[in-house]
Amino acid sequence: MTDRICIGAVAGAFGVRGELRLKSFTATPEDIATYGPVTSEDGAHSYTITLTGQATKGALIARLSGIATKEQADALRGLRLFVDRDRLPTLPDDEYYHADLIGLEVFDTGGTSLGRVKSVLNHGASDILEIHGPGLKSTVLLPFTLEAVPTVDLASGRIIADPPEGLF
């Protein structure tokens, strides 16, 4: 498990006064501003988030401390924002931070290795695990549902999957 979790990303500038569009990866998007200062991935820069509105397509409008111009906001496009794990709430047993799933080895119910989780995608309906492995010709997208993924064992670093017929 990682010590820091990505909770959002800068989508670009909004207007000409240093505000920006912010994508939140928190369960409740507005919570991104409640975890205290956020840092860049390398930890070199720290920002305080102040939400100022909501844009279309679910993005938030925000100010980051120290950013006062459109040019400064534009320069941050794509910046991922991180917080220390200990500032995030403890999750119930059946919920997971995406960062904890990435890298886990996936096995079928018979114990055969299917690959590793490369990323966790979400296109609106539910999470999807992107699985890569040496025996796979291409990426396999496994629905992250209780039916398809009955067991996640973070302690042993493995997922037991019961994929739909023909997926692998």
List of the chain residues with pLDDT < 50: none
Q: Give the CA distances from residue 152 to residues 9, 30, 155, in Å, rounded to whole numbers and listed in that order.
A: 27, 28, 9
Write down the pLDDT at residue 134: 81
pLDDT of residue 167: 80
pLDDT digits (tens, 9 = 90+) for 90-131: 888 888 888 889 999 999 999 999 999 999 987 777 889 999
Q: Measure the CA–CA gap between 60 and 77, rounded to whole angstroms.
A: 14
Distance, C-alpha 40 to centroid of its chain = 15
CA distance 47 to 83: 11
* Cβ–Cβ < 8 Å for 35, 47: no
CB atoms within 10 A of CB 94: 7
Q: Which domains can be identified in the chain, with CATH numbers? A: 4-87 (2.40.30.60), 98-161 (2.30.30.240)
pLDDT of residue 3: 85
pTM, 2 dp: 0.75
How much is the pLDDT for 97? Answer: 87
**How far is it, in rounded angstroms, from Cα 66 to Cα 153?**
41
